[in-house]
Amino acid sequence: MYRLLIVDDEKNIRLGIQAMIKREFSDVFDILVASDGQEALDIMAQESVDIMITDIKMPRMDGITLIQEVQDRKMKTSVIILSGHDDFEYAKAAIKSKVKDYLLKPVNRKELSQSLNRVLEELEADQEKGVEHLDELRTSQLNYILLNQHIDEDEIQRICQNLKMHEYPNGYYVDILVNKSGMGPIECLKRVKHLLEKRDGQEDRQHISFNDNYGHVVLLTPDATVFDYLTEKSKEDKYFHLFQSVSEKQWELKKLKEGYNQAFLSKKYQFLLPRCEVIQYEEVKNKQFEPEDLPEELIYKISNMLGTDRDKELKYSLLSVFDYEKISSRGIAYMEAISEAINQHIFDNFFNKLGEESIEIFKLYSKVGDMYNYKDFHDYYYAVEDLVMRLHEYVKQVKSVYSDQKYIGKAIKYIEENYHTDLNLAVVSNYISVNYSYFSHTFKEFTGSNFVDYVKKIRINEAKKLLKETDYKVFEVGEKVGYKNSKQFARVFREMEGISPKEFRSNN
């Protein structure tokens, strides 16, 4: 309810206005009355007042002085002036005092109702803005706590107090909620707030929720029954399928970051346990492994088998590395260590040797390098298997090309015979029936130059012969060696020889 103060030195007017307001706004206002400005100030010193309806001419302190006092004391009170005089000077004073409305006696019930409705709309709009501002400030400050690696507990406590966050005498949980159906983080947060308000009507007092910097919804709550409630509600909407990860109970706000880290670690287990809807930190905190548990020798073995004829053994070894029972018993950190070892000993090792010639494989590599790019363990395993087998075939092909140099000889002969045509890597690789990516890598290995530079060298060498031995014009020479654009020919020639075609002809 809003608190409304009626200030007038005539008792009957006070009672009349009070009766009108109660009739029209029975459940909206808690009404107070005062007989003059001084009494009104005394009341406002004890009670916060949202709206004040005040007369102008009163004993001890008139209405204009009262309004000025209210504003000087920075009281957030909306003012409606009431006067028995249609006096322009009063109107000017009211305007200067930034009052909301100016009503004449005798008070018209309809005008009073309209005036109060306008003021209520402004108050409600201001409240919404205030709530939005508080939410933005709270979200910013709480994310500062969560992201700052060096923040201490005293600073966390100070920030929470500045945000006027109430303490939880019976403890609280940190719950990270992830929507698995593609709903955006802001919409998901609104849905969570709505469900909690619908359940107990006190979301702001009992629960604190906000979006973290990863787009998750973070919920602080003292009520453990909330988790099952939200899970059940999320099942009712196919676009609101929630996964929750919950910390241990925390007893002080300064432990907020610790609780969040526990919930964040629990969230990682969605990767191993995609069917679980709520994962408690208590269930996973004791999972651990020793360095010697890692199957590094098997990963080395897989690396050595790439490009051989041992396809079945390669797949079996990879399946042994991804032993789900063993991984789930040792925890997510063990899975992360396996992923890092595969990246280092298989993918990084080969791609450092091969470079980026195989663009398709390299694109897969950039994604497979982070296991959390996949929704769960099984999706990640199939992606790793696919990339390993692609790399396996790639290496076999490269070895095949190395073992039979006739492909490269055939390619070089074709380039020397067709350098003056619109020549590119795809044309040549198709001519010798070798994969584009394999041919790019192998050609560079054999010639010491990439395809484009190699063709440039042949063309410019032929151009030099024509410039010395014929009378063709410079642009004609360019056309004969494959450059339809004379400016491009001149640029490439200068790039290769350091001088222009004209200067070369003059010097020779």
pLDDT tens digit sequence for 174-196:
999 998 887 888 888 888 988 88
197 — phi, psi (to 5°)? -65, -40
Confidence of residue 92 (pLDDT cuts 50, 70, 90): low
Is residue 83 over pLDDT 90?
A: no
H helices of 148-180, where?
153-162
Domain boundary among 263, 284, 305: 284
347 touches 368 (CB < 8 A): yes
From CA 81, how far away is CA 90, in angstroms rounded?
9
421 touches 483 (CB < 8 A): no
Which tens digits make up the pLDDT trace of 102-130? 888 888 888 899 899 988 888 877 766 65
pLDDT for 203 equals 47
63 touches 7 (CB < 8 A): yes
Helix %, strand %, coil % of the chain (to 5): 60, 10, 30
| Same-domain check for residues 112 and 22 | yes
| Same-domain check for residues 155 and 270 | yes
Domain hosting residue 97, numbered range: 2-124
69 — phi, psi (to 5°)? -65, -45
Residue 118 has a CB neighbour count (10 Å cut-off) of 14
Is residue 204 over pLDDT 60?
A: no
| Same-domain check for residues 410 and 501 | yes
pLDDT for 357 equals 54
| Same-domain check for residues 369 and 410 | no
List all residues 6 or more positions away from 65 whose beta carbon is below 8 Å from its beta carbon: 37
List all residues 6 or more positions away from 262 whose beta carbon is below 8 Å from its beta carbon: 174, 247, 248, 281, 285
What is the chain's mean pLDDT, rounded?
Answer: 86
| Same-domain check for residues 217 and 332 | no
List all residues 6 or more positions away from 350 whose beta carbon is below 8 Å from its beta carbon: 303, 306, 391, 395
| Amino acid letter, 358 | S
CATH code for the domain in which residue 417 is found: 1.10.10.60
From CA 8, how far away is CA 62, in angstroms rounded?
10
The pTM score is 0.58
| Same-domain check for residues 280 and 167 | yes
Q: Which two tokens stand for residue 23?
A: 């009739």
| Same-domain check for residues 376 and 326 | yes
Please give the tally of structural domains in the chain.
4
Region class of 408: left (phi > 0), else alpha (psi between -120 and 50), else beta: alpha
190 touches 209 (CB < 8 A): no
Q: In this structure, are strands 242-246 and 173-179 parallel, antiparallel, or unpaired?
A: antiparallel
Residue 134 belongs to some domain of the structure: no
pLDDT for 496 equals 86
Q: How many CA atoms lie within 13 A of 317 on its CB side?
A: 20
CATH code for the domain in which residue 280 is found: 3.30.70.270
| Same-domain check for residues 118 and 236 | no
Nearest Cα to 361, choosing from 394, 339, 338?
394
Rounded to 10 deg, the angle between the 109-147 and 153-162 helix axes is 170
Which tens digits make up the pLDDT trace of 140-157? 888 888 888 888 999 999
Q: Which helix (H) or strand (E) holds 386?
A: helix 377-403
Cis peptide before 501 (omega within 30 of 0): no
| Same-domain check for residues 267 and 199 | yes
Confidence of residue 401 (pLDDT cuts 50, 70, 90): low
pLDDT for 342 equals 93
| Same-domain check for residues 393 and 413 | no
DSSP states of 54-105 as a string? EESS-SSS-HHHHHHHHHHTT---EEEEEESS--HHHHHHHHHTT-SEEEES
94 touches 82 (CB < 8 A): no
Is residue 398 over pLDDT 80?
A: no
Domain boundary among 397, 414, 438: 397
Q: Which two tokens stand for residue 7?
A: 């200030």
| Amino acid letter, 267 | K
DSSP states of 470-496 as a string? ----HHHHHHHTT-S-HHHHHHHHHHH
| Rounded (10°) CA dihedral 441, 446, 449, 455 | -100
| Amino acid letter, 4 | L
Confidence of residue 161 (pLDDT cuts 50, 70, 90): confident
Is residue 428 over pLDDT 50?
A: yes
pLDDT for 278 equals 94
372: which DSSP letter?
A: G
- b/e code 215-224 from CB counts within 10 Å (16+ = b): ebbbbbbeee
| Same-domain check for residues 308 and 277 | no
